[in-house]
Structure 1
Amino acid sequence: MNTKAGNLNNPIYPIMIAIAVAHLINDTMQAVIPAMFPILKSELGLTFTQIGLISFVLNMFASALQPVVGFVSDKKPMPYALPIGMISSFIGIAIIAFTSQYWVILVAVLFLGFGSAVFHPEGSRVSFMAAGSKRGLAQSIYQVGGNSGQALAPLISAYILDIFGQRGAAMVLLLTTIGIILLSKIAGWYKNQLEQERKAKTKRILVSNLPPLTKKQVGIALTLLFTIIFARSFYTTNITSFYVFYLMDHYDISLRLGQMLIFAFMAFGVVGTFFGGSLSDRIGRKNVILLSVVVPMPFCLALPYVPLWAAILFLIIIGTLIMISFSVTVVYAQELVPSKIGTMAGLTTGFAFGMGAVGAMVIGILMDHKGIDFTMMVVSLLPLLLLVAFLLPKDKPASMA
């Protein structure tokens, strides 16, 4: 890619879109794992606890590594780590598509976790470098790619795995190959930009829209932000990985129809993610986070108790609004600590993965021991934690900063 940077305030849209497409491919590979849960449960006879452990290993490994990768890349950016990470994910998918051994599946998801851990901090840095003055928009385009990839999970389950079984996961390898080629091109652009900045003795600096804060205030704000990420990740993991079992059991619908409803939740989440970033440039990060907390709250609380038609509507509303702050929380964290772009991207995204991992493990155990209905009722209360968003420091819209 020969796209030039020009003025640092000018957005570079081809790179924004290219890294978003790469994010879509990366997260599609990650999404294959929860998409396989119903297949693995039926073909290998796994328990909900074992399924939860697979998700735990995948996401916790990625969670632990992402801040490390972000910290290292803040000191020494690693352009070609991007295609290397996707090669690791390729290996993981290839293994999981053909094994019948549970322990081998756990090993395979380590390769996927490593690929994800490498991609997200460096991918977020590429998005930052291409953003210019459009930080919220750039992060939204980047996250829309990832969320779109995750949204493909129920479609993969319904139209590939449900037909071809576990080995159908190998079809994703073609997409992965395209991703490796694309990331190699992006890495070349990334390296060229670093060289230009070094020769010009300039450095891209993130301008924060927050008022001056003490270290203690920054620490409190990050704690509140991580509480929001915890509750959101735990709740969305429940919907994307386990709610399909509730739909089949409670409403007596087919796996394919259940997965289509999960797809609706995730697809509208993509819509929310896209508009959230650009909206935060206009009205401020905190205001968008509050919007994602207050409006969907009653729908989250009521979801386990409504008839099927209402559940479909509620899933669309919740998916759109709870995810509207997905990219915004990343930007907000980076503005809290503007000198650590990669580290904060790694911490926020990694923490989201980690809390999803914990959520999957806890939900799996609860479903095995307390039943599906009880688990859904307990998890429906979790979004109440999101109310801590009211305590976040207020920022100025980017247009006013």
Structure 2
Amino acid sequence: MPERRRAVRLASGHVCVDVYQGAVAALVPFLVAGRGYGYAAASGIVLAASLLSSVVQPLFGALADRRPMPWLIPLGTAAAGGGIALVGLDAGYPATVAAVALSGLGVAAYHPAAARLVRTGAGGGGHTAMSWFALGGNIGFACAPLLVVGALSLPGAAPWLLLALPAVLGVVLNRPRPAAADPAPSAVAAEGAPGAAAAAPEDVRAFLRLSLVVVVRSVVFIGLSTFLALYVAARGGGGTGGAAALVALYGGTAAGTLLGGRLASSWGRTTAVRRAYAVAAPAVAGVLVLPLPLVYGCAALAATALYVPFSLQVTLGQDYLPSRMGTASGVTLGLTVSVGGLASPLIGAAADAVSLRTALLPLAVLPLLAWALARRLPEPAPPAQAQAQPPSQAD
């Protein structure tokens, strides 16, 4: 029961942090209209946030692996919210970029340490706990536009103070507790079987293969989320139809995130990952070739299939590198996702050269590549759980 409460608390804290990942993109129209930034300047703001929030995550993960740093979680939360609040000072473009970069740095500091704590708190298993943690991030990201639009409709400096409130709540939720301190790798081993984590070999080859799978998945989902609304509008759905398609897409992400933990308990993680990618391929193809009314259902199904592996890939990475869980979390949650996002400008350039549908067609094939790569992923035994439970109960 204490582990469940801690998982719920960390998932709730994840909501508060990932509000600030979604807030940057939501702020861009207001900054363009209110401060006269051009498109290049606006893209620079988004780039500063995304690079620091994703690329730097493995570095913070490595720090969390070297020594327990539970204080890094509330500190990262405070930095994420404080950076966005500082944007309201309007001290010039460089200061705005620096404030957004501070927010991204806070997001990067939070995720590896928090994901490691979710896993160690579950005694080495925790696929369902990781699913709830990932769902918290999805909810925070989805709520960001509503928070930004609602806050910035108020006059004066109040909107920027209001935007800092989720960070205040997140710091309270994620403050270090003596009973829930993040154990060192050797302590994680002791929770289940003495010396289990220390004796567990690292499978670097499997981790690199998994990282490729995550990159491919990221290309598909970011490509869909970036261009789906435009694609539906171009097919006659209009702006309302495009927004409805995004609602279906994001609703599918929540369903897939929760479903992943349940399927892993029944099938095992690697089997659940492979089957999810096998379903994703025809679902993405349906978005691109079926009549418009069916596109919404296919978008929801595609997002569900692409998000079933999301939390499972985090725990797989942690088990492939059992003594470097923070580093594995930083790579699977941050670095590989940002690398996948680099494909979006290429899709846009191809759409300008030919057509949007033609440019998006490769996205229907990429899940098959992820499936093929995932076929050779081994199912590792969770470090502390492997000897603490009978083999028939382990994933």
The reply to whether TM is greater than 0.5 is: yes
CA distance in 1, matches of 2:292, 2:263: 32
CA distance in 2, matches of 1:13, 1:328: 18
Q: Does 1:264 align with 2:248?
A: yes
Gap runs ≥5 in structure 2: 382-390
Q: Does 1:88 align with 2:79?
A: yes
Superposed displacement of residue 142, structure 1 = 1.2
Any residues of structure 2 matched to 1:2-401 within 5 Å, and which? 12-36=3-27, 44=36, 46-47=38-39, 53-96=44-87, 99=90, 103-132=94-123, 134-153=125-144, 155=146, 160=150, 171-184=162-175, 187-189=176-178, 192=181, 194=183, 203-204=190-191, 218-254=203-239, 258-363=242-347, 372-387=356-371, 388-394=373-379, 399-400=393-394
Give the alignment's TM-score, normalised by structure 2.
0.81
Q: Deviations over 1:84-125 (max 9, x none)?
A: 111211122124456496655543331122111111111112
Give the alignment's TM-score, normalised by structure 1.
0.80
Work out whether residues 23 and 142 of structure 1, in 8 Å CA contact, stay in contact via their aligned partners in 2: yes
Superposed displacement of residue 324, structure 1 = 0.5
Q: Deviations over 1:197-248 (max 9, x none)?
A: 99x99744699x9xx9986xx3332222111110111222223344333334
Work out whether residues 122 and 342 of structure 1, in 8 Å CA contact, stay in contact via their aligned partners in 2: yes
Aligned sequence identity (%) = 24
CA distance in 1, matches of 2:392, 2:87: 44
Please say which of residues 348-357 and 367-376 is displaced more in the overlay. 367-376
Change over 3 Å in CA distance of 1:45–1:226 after alignment to 2: same
Change over 3 Å in CA distance of 1:369–1:37 after alignment to 2: farther
Please say which of residues 367-376 and 346-355 is displaced more in the overlay. 367-376
Superposed displacement of residue 156, structure 1 = 5.0
Change over 3 Å in CA distance of 1:309–1:31 after alignment to 2: same
**What RMSD in Å do the two structures reach over aligned CA positions?**
3.7
Superposed displacement of residue 354, structure 1 = 2.0
Matched to 2:329, the amino acid is A
Give the corresponding residue for 1:4.
none
Work out whether residues 304 and 377 of structure 1, in 8 Å CA contact, stay in contact via their aligned partners in 2: yes
Please say which of residues 84-93 and 101-110 is displaced more in the overlay. 101-110
DSSP-derived class of the 1:251 partner:
helix
Structure scoring higher RCO (CA < 8 A, sep ≥ 6) equals 1
Superposed displacement of residue 36, structure 1 = 4.1
Work out whether residues 122 and 129 of structure 2, in 8 Å CA contact, stay in contact via their aligned partners in 1: yes
Change over 3 Å in CA distance of 1:206–1:366 after alignment to 2: farther
Matched to 1:319, the amino acid is A
